[in-house]
Structure 1
């Protein structure tokens, strides 16, 4: 199974606030763990607005170094459109950014790893 980490779990691992998640991550082969390019964009945004951007940039780069970064592609864009429309139709919109981040999740054999905000 491939685990796609979301922004919240990445931040928690980088800050060492998710020992259980870090343990599970270390139990996986590195080929089974990835992040979306959109998650990387969110993480870069966090670095840019932080009070210690240089230190946080280094920490982010170290964290991402062994991970595959999955690009957001046309299929993801199509899934995004359908998911966002369905959520709005059911009165459960989650916002454009969160929907974009969720779009790659239905990819076969991918499991999202998340942490509540």
Structure 2
């Protein structure tokens, strides 16, 4: 069975109700969706950087509680750095 690590932008689009994102994510079982600790941090930062901090924190924390959170370790950092460098060299 496929598992999906959801990007922060996709999470934000979902929270904002972007129709195509909501439809696509709604088709995937919640047990197959994951976020990273970095995603979690970015969305919480966004709430603190907003004009409605408490309201946005409640919405985001409730939303993020639905997902399994993958921790970001030193090995994860190394893999990310190598993969990002490799992808940057690709011509798309």
TM-score class, shorter-chain normalisation, is: 0.7 to 0.9
Q: How does 1:1-117 map to 2 (within 5 A)?
A: 1-16=2-17, 18-86=18-86, 90=89
TM-score by length of 1: 0.67
The DSSP-based 3-state class of the residue aligned with 2:20 is helix
Summarize deviations over 1:11-67 as a string: whole Å, max 9, x none: 111111x21111121111111001110011111111111000111101101211211
The two structures, once aligned, show a CA RMSD in angstroms of: 2.1
What is the aligned residue count?
A: 90
The unaligned stretches of length 5 or more in structure 1 are 91-117
**Gaps in structure 2 of 5+ consecutive residues:** none
Distance 1:28 1:84, change over 3 A: closer
Report the structure, 1 or 2, having the larger helix content: 2
Q: Which consecutive segments of 4 or more residues in structure 1 shift more than 4 A?
A: 84-88
Q: What is the deviation of 1:74?
A: 2.9
